[in-house]
Amino acid sequence: MICVEATIQNEHGIHCRPTALIIRAIGDYAGRIEVVREDMRSNPRSMLGLMSLGLAKGAVITIEVDGPDEAMMAGKLKELFETHFDFER
C-alpha cells in the first residue's frame, strides 16, 4: 500500500465536475483506493462519498492505494486533486 498527501488547489474545491473526472480517471482500476480527510474516509469511486468529504481549496487529504501499479495510480490521483480546474460557467 502507498499513501500520498495532496492539497486541494481548485478555487471552488472538488465539486461535481472535478469529481466526475477523478472517477473517470480511476476507471476499472483493480486495487483499493481511499481518500482520507481528517477522520473521514471515502471510496473515490462514489461521487456522493467523495463530495461528502467537503474538499474545499486548501484541504489536505491522504490518498491510499493498494494494488497493481499503486505508485502510478497514487501519483495520477494526487495530480488530479491538485489541479486548478478551469470550467466555464
pLDDT at 87: 64
Nearest residue to 80 via CA among 25, 11, 15: 25
Specify the pLDDT at position 88.
57
pTM for the predicted model, two decimal places: 0.92
How far from chain centre, in Å, is Cα 27? Answer: 13
C-alpha cell at 20: 466526475
Q: For the chain (length 89 residues), average pLDDT per consecutive 10? A: 97 92 94 96 95 96 97 96 78
pLDDT, residue 6, reads 98
Q: Which residues are catalytic?
A: 15
Identify which of 38, 39, 35, 23 has the alpha carbon closest to the alpha carbon of residue 62. 35
Which set of grid coordinates corresponds to residue 53?
468529504
